[in-house]
Amino acid sequence: VEKLILHEDPISANCYKVCLTAAHLGIALERREYDIRKGETRTPDFLHKINANGCIPVLQIGDAYLPESNAISLYLATGSDLIPQDRLQCADVMRWMFFEQYNLEPNIGPLIFWRTYLGEDRLNEIQRMLLPVKTAAGNVALALLDGHLAKHDFLVGNRFSLADIVLYAYTHVAGRGGFNLGCYPNVERWLQRVASQPGHVEM
């Protein structure tokens, strides 16, 4: 078995996503911490050796480096019951993971970073301009999730899967980005359902 090292920053929900997946699978990860606020993932050494894209999480598997939280989660969960065997359900898990990366994380993630870690008075002109745009788009994503969860206990196949883990990461801390989860009661109930699964760990 190859040693797994997660290059991460504990403030990142993309990194938490990977840790939560590993916890559910009982997989041990050694952790290397970087401070993204100090640009520690932008050093020539990091860009050259770990991720040319300059961000964490990156999973080191022996001497291979795998970036992208959802790719890492898929790598860890392959062959487990977190991924349905049924072909359509398996693709549906991927569908929610793509939704997360296109509609949810790019809107909620930056708002959490700007509001909680940077501070609203330290935003530049572009960030200030994007604030209402990302707030609106994030709410559209949360509303879509809420509509789906009005009819389903879990995202895919009526059972807990990798899709729930991946979508949980940013959704459960959306409040830190200024989103009001109280407007999405089905999402709130689902968050509790996910957090009460055996093997759950906090961020």
Ligand X SMILES: N[C@@H](CCC(=O)N[C@@H](CS)C(=O)NCC(=O)O)C(=O)O
Q: Which is nearer to ligand X, 40 or 188 (CB)?
A: 40
Contact mark string toward ligand X, 14..43, x via CB under 6 A: x---------------------x----xx-
Report the candidate in 13, 40, 34, 8 with the shortest Cα–Cα distance to residue 177.
13
Q: Which is nearer to ligand X, 101 or 186 (CB)?
A: 101
Least distance to ligand X, CB of residue 141, Å: 15
Considering Cα of 71, then 138, then 130, then 102, what sign does the dihedral take? positive
Minimum distance from residue 64 beta carbon to ligand X (Å): 16
Q: How far is the CB of 80 from ligand X (least distance, A)?
A: 20
Choose between 21 and 70: whose C-beta lies nearer to ligand X. 70
Backbone angles phi, psi at 49, to 5 degrees: -100, -35
User: According to CB under 6 A, which one of 4, 6, 7, 12 is a site residue for ligand X?
Assistant: 12
Of 109, 173, 116, 97, nearest in space to 135 by CA: 109
For 176, left (φ over 0), alpha (ψ -120 to 50), or beta?
alpha
Cα 176 from Cα 170, distance rounded (Å): 10
**d(Cα 196, Cα 201) in Å, to the nearest integer?**
10
Binding mask 94-123 for ligand X (x = CB under 6 A): -------x-------x--------------
Phi, psi of 199 (to 5 degrees): 95, -5
x/- string (CB under 6 A) for ligand X, residues 45-74? ---------xxxx----------xxx----
| Residue numbers at the binding site for ligand X (CB under 6 A) | 12, 14, 36, 41-42, 54-57, 68-70, 101, 109
